[in-house]
Structure 1
């Protein structure tokens, strides 16, 4: 009886979330085939997916942060026979002091007068090796060592992507991003290490940078007994989507500032590089994106993890630190010395302008930047599996990893526009240029943070 009650309550809760979407999706389906108020690049499946995600994201304010975290970080029981998934702890090993010193140095040096921010305590974290799998044998009872050897036997590339998942720094895990990461690994015929970094608000800035840097150094110099052999930095690409894209940029700044060996390249998908949402597209693209229309301040029920008392408006960092380059990389003074970058952005996403500005600033610092803008696509549109734009973006990521890790000499430093059919062409100057200076962006961020506590903002809902 107890088992029946638990199952009933579980399905009752699920139905309670799904049933309210029926009228909404019915309306959206009808509109798709009648007056067609969606972008031409959206097919029916994409339209329904985007509107469904937006609905579920708006439900967040009805739950505590712990409840939402539990939903988005739980282990999946869904088996994917074409994915290698091998759990892997990242121990402290001998890099603790090195990592802490590097993050401390970057926090202080890049702060430009901001009060000193102490690096978070370095902690052991977890992650998982991910690769595309062709083997059909049942490996469920194999040891991690045996699985890793079998995975390696199927790979053609010795490149490794260190992947940092998105989720606004407080949601998701490698589990939620397995499809994306394994699809990327398939494109360059290598393996990815997907990091389960600590989440805010339980662990806030710079904990996530500390975790990512620890994983990077662990890849380069693993302790005895590790599954992998040392990976040269010129064979490592750091990649991430959304908050993971911002974290990728922050880790890169830390590496450059501290003099640690730089990776072969970085990939950012829809990077969140302005924590304040101060650019115009955060408002003008609200209709064509699924991100909440008010992303600056978290709206969750008060809980042990988040008192919601108004003293701090963001989970990841205190108000005064939002302007810090490690938190909002659009404020970085220079990207000189950075490795090649691939910046992929959706034209219809709310983070479009900040992603373009980030790419421009890096290019102006002499960095080899390949920026790609995809017609009408929303935030992290790679989740729209099967859409021509998503397929094209995975192909481009695979080509980039192969190029920067030494496989080819394909075009670099390019600007591309990709239409709704996945066809690639040049990106026009008027689509690329944002028109702000760094000082103007810093002032806009300051103004945005000041408005967070205004009555106008407090009365808005996501």
Structure 2
């Protein structure tokens, strides 16, 4: 069994379909997490009676393999990470984190319509010609009715925002347009956190040295342009560097989109 697992490619699929505010369980497919819990428990604690929640609390799933476990860790070159939408963004963010930590790279990353830019800066997100069911986002979190939940959320978010402001998070792209006068743009992260590469992977200073990528997006998707731009920046990291400047009135950021065939009215790849 161990020889089979060691020599067989492993697909880790992040099946989260959207970023959200609130408990993660409703939007998670727990099959992969439960399977991994069972796989780990086979070798470390065969008679463990811990529940899934207890294992999470004890960092059971994230614990390093002990030296005396009796088996070797899986070869990263046999692991492919994949995800759709927000799951694709998380998969690519994980790839960046692995790269930045200097850890061995996985065999590849697959992103189906990856959500990699939480600033909503690319043209396809506001293109009325797109047939995607996703709506055009025009407002921030201020559009929601005030409630006790929103009040508690804002209090906790303010604490997180201060932590982000006081921490040295390393090089990241930033522009004054992230300081939105209409308040917080996303529930998922404060405005001060949108430029963190592990939040918006497309905004990383460099997208080089990642494993092989397979990024998929349709012509009429709202997430189309960010997938195309991410692919170009990863393929030619020295040519397409993150830059800011006037692009549109609602969000002044230039991504050199015209150079790779992306313009507000039409998208194509040269």
Verify same fold: TM over 0.5: yes
- Asked whether the 8 Å contact 1:167–1:244 carries over to 2, the reply is yes
Deviation per residue, 1:5-43 (Å, 9 max, x gap): xxxxxxxxxxxxxxxxxxxxxxxxxxxxxxxxxxxxxxx
Query: Which residue pairs with 2:243 in the alignment?
Result: 439
> Which whole-Å CA distance do the structure 2 matches of 1:158 and 1:323 have between them?
37
Q: How does 1:304-343 map to 2 (within 5 A)?
A: 304-307=148-151, 311-343=183-215
Which structure has more relative contact order (CA 8 Å, sep 6+)? It is: 2
CA–CA separation in structure 1 for the residues paired with 2:108 and 2:61: 13
Partner secondary structure for residue 337 of structure 1: coil
- Show the counterpart of 2:251: 448
| CA distance in 2 between partners of 1:160 and 1:365 (Å) | 28
Higher helix share: 1
- 1:267 matches 2:110: yes
Match of 1:346, SS?
coil
The one-character-per-residue Cα deviations of 1:98-142 (angstroms, maximum 9, x if unpaired) are: xxxxxxxxxxxxxxxxxxxxxxxxxxxxxxxxxxxxxxxxxxxxx
Q: CA deviation at 1:341?
A: 0.7
C-alpha contact 2:18 2:86 (8 A) present in aligned 1 = yes
Q: In the alignment, is residue 167 of structure 1 matched against residue 8 of structure 2?
A: no
RMSD of the alignment, in Å?
4.1
What do the CA deviations read for 1:226-279 (whole angstroms, capped 9, x no partner)?
9x9731111111111111111112111111111122111111110111102111
Per the alignment, in what secondary structure is the counterpart of residue 229 of structure 2?
helix
Check whether the contact 1:323–1:445 (CA below 8 A) recurs between aligned residues. Answer: no
The structure 2 residue matched to 1:233, chosen from 73, 76, 83, is 76
Which residue of the partner structure matches residue 65 of structure 2? 222
Cα–Cα, structure 1 residues 236 and 356, in superposed 2: closer, same or farther, change >3 Å? same
1:48-78 per-residue CA deviation (whole Å, 9 max, x = no partner) reads xxxxxxxxxxxxxxxxxxxxxxxxxxxxxxx
1:297 corresponds to 2:140:
yes
Alpha-carbon separation, structure 1, partners of 2:61 and 2:106: 9
TM-score, normalised on structure 2? 0.58
TM-aligned CA deviation for residue 438 of structure 1: 2.5
Q: Give 2:126's aligned residue.
A: 283
Matches within 5 A, 1:250-265: 250-265=93-108
1:446 Cα deviation after fit: 10
Distance in 2 between residues matched to 1:251 and 1:166, nearest whole Å? 14
Seen in structure 2, the aligned counterparts of structure 1 residues 216 and 362 have a Cα distance that, compared at 3 Å, is farther
Give the Å deviation of 1:305.
4.3
Q: TM-score, normalised by structure 1?
A: 0.36
Q: 1:224 to 1:174 in 2, by over 3 A?
A: farther
CA contact (8 A) 2:76 2:106 kept: yes
Distance 1:335 1:215, change over 3 A: farther
